[in-house]
Amino acid sequence: MAWFNVNGELGLSLIILGIGVAVIGLLVIDSTPLMILGVSTALVGLLANWGEGVLQETELRLSSSSWDNLALLLESVGTASRAIYLPSSMVEDSKPYALIPQWGDVKLSGIVPRGFMVKYGPGPGDVGIKVRSMGSRAVEECLSVGSVSSDLNSTLSNCIVNHLSLAKGVEATFTGDSVVVLVNRPRLINPYDGTIVNTVLGSPMASIVASLVAESLGRPVVIDGEEARGNAILINLRPLTTQ
């Protein structure tokens, strides 16, 4: 059993994202405000990473300013589409990521390359931001202990319930082209609820579920919606086909 540590993952993601946006602001579009925003976000990431190992609910709530910065970054680069959760088999460095496309109509083709801003398809507009999410870290944690397999329900239960201890129970149901996942009594709060980050990445629990579903099925996955049902969360996912 392992408690899931999102603080270090948040810190690393913000450092990479901040540096990337600072470089874009300075060298690509010559925007001083965007460069300053990128630098400040990287600094927030350093602070978050420094606090790794002491994660508490209060600390997660205090990290809301970090998520606010991420929201500003997404708006600054004009990217606010729903993230596509990629399995490690579809990425050049064999790690799970969330791909935030510039436009909503996505046609994935081949292996997604390394880098922060990546081209994922043949079209001129097939460009997006590739980031590590809470789900990325969850998949890696579960892969390391053999909790991920092609059996989706086994993967979700072994990882979310048994290994990460993030919920009391989880069950997936295939409905047509969708996957509906019910998470009972989740234990992970949402520090960025109500922001554009939630719209793009989904809640932390939805992000983790989507990443695990993508890894288990070997297909990219989009979060179509989520809703609270008493002490449970119902998450609707849509696996995508690739060209």
Burial of 180 (0-12, 13-18, 19+ CB in 10 A): middle
What is the chain's mean pLDDT, rounded?
79
pLDDT at 50: 43
Q: How far is CA 239 from the centre of its chain?
A: 15
* pTM to 2 decimal places: 0.77
Average pLDDT value for residue range 234-238 = 98
Query: Where residue 122 falls among pLDDT bands split at 50, 70, 90?
Result: confident
Q: Which of 231, 169, 187, 154 is nearest to 60 (CA)?
A: 187
**What's the CA gap between 59 and 41, in Å, rounded?**
17
CATH code at 148-239 = 3.30.980
Name the 3-class secondary structure at 179.
strand
Average pLDDT value for residue range 119-131 = 83
More confident residue, 41 or 188: 188
Question: Could you state, in order of their start, the residue ranges of all structural domains in the chain?
Answer: 1-78, 148-239
Average pLDDT value for residue range 98-123 = 84
Q: Which residue has the tokens 């989520």?
A: 226
Residue 193's DSSP bridge partners are: none
52-61 per-position pLDDT tens digit: 443 445 445 5
Q: Which of 70-74, 84-88, 195-199 has the lowest mean pLDDT?
A: 70-74
